[in-house]
Structure 1
Amino acid sequence: MSGYESYDYLDGDLHLPRDPLTPEFNRVPPYDGGHTPAVVERAERLLAATITISLHDHPVRFPADMANTPAYNRTGRQFTAFEGLRASGLTVVFDNMMDGTATVTGNTPWQWEDVVTDLGMRQADIAHQSDVVVIRTLADIHAAYAAGRTGLVFGLEAATPIGNDLDRLDILYGLGIRQIGLAYSQSNGLGAGLSERTDFGLTDFGRAAVRRMNQLGLAIDVSHSSDRTGIDAADASDVPVFITHAGARALWDIPRLKSDDVLRAVAAGGGVIGMSAAPHTTISRDHPTHSLLSVMDHFEYCAELLGIDHVAFGPDTLYGDHVGLHTTFSFMLGAAAATTEDHPRVEYVDGLENPTESFHNIAAWLVEHGYSDDEIGKVLGGNVLRVLGEVWAG
């Protein structure tokens, strides 16, 4: 249903005060990678021939003025970027909604009612159009690819909303969630978050949650968990775990990125790390101005450290001013900026500004740098698909 905008099915009955939303195209100038037509042609051919998976993005539109985000979220209705997704080249996007840094209440994150509201609203909207579908099984992924559609895998960045009730994991699974992070920056009953002063790792309740997630077929993410929690989770899980969106702390020393020990632990269990592009995180000393080039430094480091079978991409992009979002929700994100190294501030991450452009530019970079078709297929989606075959098999 080309041209559909979120909640059009309400036929004008939706009377919500709504500030202008960010457009899905051309918010910033297009990235110039300097590629030849032959490189671009091969990159686009590989995108079309591959089940391409983003391990972490937020494919929704935000207010043009990010300061209006809390009010926007209080409406309970995130606007999916349907046109942008159609142009993205993506088969699947792991969509963690916005119940942490941009909770529906705009105040206290990780409330159970907000998660259920967000999940229900988004799926009601998606059900009224035909180009974007909800993914719950491997068969759904293959069907979406065959039909030329984009699928969303709904997830949460932290399991905090379950409190101390394991059965809430079952409820979330029944409502369509297929991936959950153990903890966000703040700790919870499952384990330590990355901003915890004392890294106590995975709790006994966290171990029980890992077991239940394995039984249900919920993919486990340790992107925002502490080092010890990530290592403990990889050891406790019967199936591979993900770092859906991060990078290597060896290249840029901030808590938001992962130590080699964590990276190795996840890879040793068969897991995959997705390279993030959240502003001012995956920087490198070779490319301190955050851009696609900085992110690909993290990709190459992790591929060499872990092997090509354990790397992928989770750019963590959205449709709007991501730097402005971090400013609006700085109370949630302070740990990410803790570094003693100077680097230029950017208005956006050039080449990885939103889900529409990211994988086109990633694929062209991989072609330009001599990766084989097989290697490109693995990192664009094959590695994630392999892990999902183990996680969702039950």
Structure 2
Amino acid sequence: MTGRDLVAKPSDYESFPYIRRTPDFPAHELVSPGHRRSTYAADLSDEQADRVNRLLGGLVISFHDHPQLLPVDPSEFFPYLRSRREFTAFTELRSAGLTAVFDNLVGTFGASTTAGGKWDDVTTALGMRLADLAHRDDVLVVRRAQDILDAHRDGKLGFVLGTESASMIENEVDRLDMLYGFGVRQMGLVYADSNTLGSGQKEARDAGLTTFGRRAVERMNALGILIDVSHASDQTSLDAIEASSAPIAVTHAGARAVWPTPRMKSDDVLKALAERGGVLGLEAAPHTTLSAEHRTHTIESVMDHFTYAVELMGIEHVAFGPDAIYGDHVGLHQVINSHLGLARMLDSGDLQYERVSHVDGMENPTESFRNIAGWLVEHGYRDSDIQAVLGGNILRLVKQVWR
């Protein structure tokens, strides 16, 4: 495979069919959607492979992914965002077997400034995504639980619009109403840095949920927005679980008992989440869900977190939010970290691990769920349990939360 094979041609772009490449948006070289680096494959018999295909024909929901093509050169990430258009790999997502994907809008990371999380960034990213989705007949913007079932019935791909932080509302709780009106159905309270709602994972001192954060939780409950504490501190997470009248989520993280970094969730948080009916989505971004047994990050490392979480929480409270992308994820982390200073979240102390270029078996949204299903079949899980973690648990949760 040559360097040019890694680049998407203009004819490969499925998004924004109504605009022209050079006059209407910059000619960034984007990653080819069909590019693969992973070598993982479950050891399956023909009968087991058929079973995987059947399971992927059921309800499959990604709790957190970024299904857009990113620039080949990670240094172009922020200029690409400032072009205001992210190109979604629709065909690739459909080949993944997904019924719906929780799409957390990469553009919110800094289309106007490299700090990210600004009101203009979020509303612009939402508007652009909705304009793109409106020009396709094979997708559906998910606003209620029934929409996921309708997407599955009609063979469409559902997009759940979400954000990784609520920083953009600043101290204006009514902005939550506006975001709900724009179609947002899932929101993180905090992305690493503390904000007006609570403490993030970067903080050495954990102040928990603020008074304003409690108001925001109450309004999200009233509107029917799923609350996510993936990047919140431990105390903020526990406070939000306690304050919310509805179950909440950790859409993309892992277990700190398996790999001790602030990015992972403590047993106290995971148990409280399950006790209140919430769901954990297992993360697979590079160098996050490692384990002592698998210090080279692959699907095996991720599944160490899965088996631990199932034992701790019960299988009815576990799902997958791989947090995968189409592009150089490690390079992207380096660029984002240079602006947002996220290194502390991944600090594993004295534990050593091997640096990787990608997570073998879960590099991008296309391959993640097929490999997850294969791993679960290979390891003897029942169909009912596999169906639960592939999507059933998430559907049950949103039925309780969304209005």
Taking structure 1 as the reference length, the TM-score comes to 0.96
Amino acid at match of 1:304: E
**Mapped partners of 2:335, 2:383: distance in 1:** 41
Task: Give runs of aligned pairs for residues 14-93 of structure 1, distance below 5 A.
Answer: 14-48=23-57, 50-93=58-101
User: Which whole-Å deviations, capped at 9, do the CAs of 1:216-267 have from their partners, x for residues lacking one?
Assistant: 0000000000000001101111110000000000011110000000101111
What is the match of residue 357 of structure 2?
347
Moved more, 380-389 or 32-41: 32-41
Q: Name the amino acid aligned to 2:262.
A: P
Q: Which residue number in structure 2 is paired with residue 378 of structure 1?
A: 388
- Among residues 194, 202, 211, which one is paired with 1:204 in the alignment? 211
How does 1:130-209 map onto structure 2 within 5 Å?
A: 130-209=137-216
Q: Structure 1: state its 5+ residue gaps.
A: none
Instruction: Give the one of 217, 220, 226 matched to 2:224.
Output: 217
Q: Secondary structure at the match of 1:305?
A: helix
Q: CA deviation at 1:131?
A: 1.9
Residue 365 in structure 1 maps to residue 375 in structure 2: yes
Q: Secondary structure at the match of 1:273?
A: strand
Q: Which runs of 5+ in 2 are unaligned?
A: 1-10
Q: Is the 8 A contact 1:73 1:106 kept in 2?
A: no
Amino acid at match of 1:182: L
| 8 Å Cα contact 2:188-2:231 kept in structure 1 | yes
1:172 shift after superposition: 0.2
Relative distance call for 1:139 and 1:65 in structure 2 (3 A) is: same
Deviation for aligned residue 1:130: 1.6
Q: 1:323 to 1:11 in 2, by over 3 A?
A: closer
Answer yes or no: is the 8 Å Cα contact 1:20–1:63 preserved in 2: yes
CA offset at residue 11 of structure 1? 5.3
Cα deviation 1:188-235 (Å, max 9, x = unaligned): 011100111210101111111100000000000000000000011011
Equivalent in the alignment of 2:286 = 279
Is the CA contact (8 Å cut-off) linking 1:70 and 1:105 kept in structure 2? no
**C-alpha distance in 1 between matches for 2:23 and 2:137:** 21
Distance, in Å, in 2 between the alignment partners of 1:161 and 1:204 is: 17
1:16, distance to aligned residue in structure 2 (A): 2.2
**Correspondence 1:273-312 to 2 at 5 A:** 273-312=280-319
Residue in 2 that maps onto 1:110: 117
AA paired with 1:338? D
1:12–1:276 CA distance, 2 compared to 1 (3 A): closer
1 CA distance for matches of 2:125 and 2:380? Answer: 42
Q: Secondary structure at 1:319's aligned position in 2?
A: coil
CA contact (8 A) 1:272 1:312 kept: yes
* CA–CA distance in structure 1, aligned partners of residues 278 and 38 of structure 2: 35
Q: Which residue of 1 aligns with 2:5?
A: none
Distance 1:194 1:36, change over 3 A: same
The whole-number CA distance in structure 2 between the counterparts of 1:297 and 1:339 is: 17
CA apart distance, 1:47: 1.2
2:251 pairs with one of 238, 244, 253: 244
The worse-fitting range, judged by mean Cα deviation, of 167-176 and 133-142 is 133-142
Matching of residue 318 in structure 1 with residue 325 in structure 2: yes
State the superposition RMSD in angstroms. Answer: 1.5
- Counterpart secondary structure, 2:67: strand
Deviation of 1:54 (Å): 0.6
**Deviations 1:62-99 (Å, cap 9, x if unpaired)?**
00111111110110101111121121101010011124
CA contact (8 A) 1:99 1:110 kept: no
Match of 1:257 among 247, 261, 264: 264
**Post-superposition CA distance 1:256-286 (Å, at most 9, x none):** 0000001011111000000000100100011
> How many Å separate the matches in 2 of 1:56 and 1:303?
19
Closer, same or farther in 2 for the Cα pair 1:11/1:203, shift >3 Å? same
Letter in structure 2 aligned against 1:83: T
8 Å CA contact retained: 1:4, 1:82: no
For residues 307-359 of structure 1, what are the alpha-carbon distances to aligned partners after superposition, in whole Å with 9 as ceiling and x for unaligned? 01100000000110101100111132212321121100000000000011100
Aligned residues of 1:57 and 1:317 also touching (Cα < 8 A): yes
In structure 2, C-alpha distance between the alignment counterparts of 1:293 and 1:237, rounded to whole Å: 34
Residues 270, 29 of structure 1: alpha-carbon distance in 2 compared, 3 angstrom cutoff: closer
Which amino acid in 2 is paired with 1:375? D
Q: Distance in 2 between matches of 1:11 and 1:69?
A: 20
1:334 is the counterpart of 2:355:
no
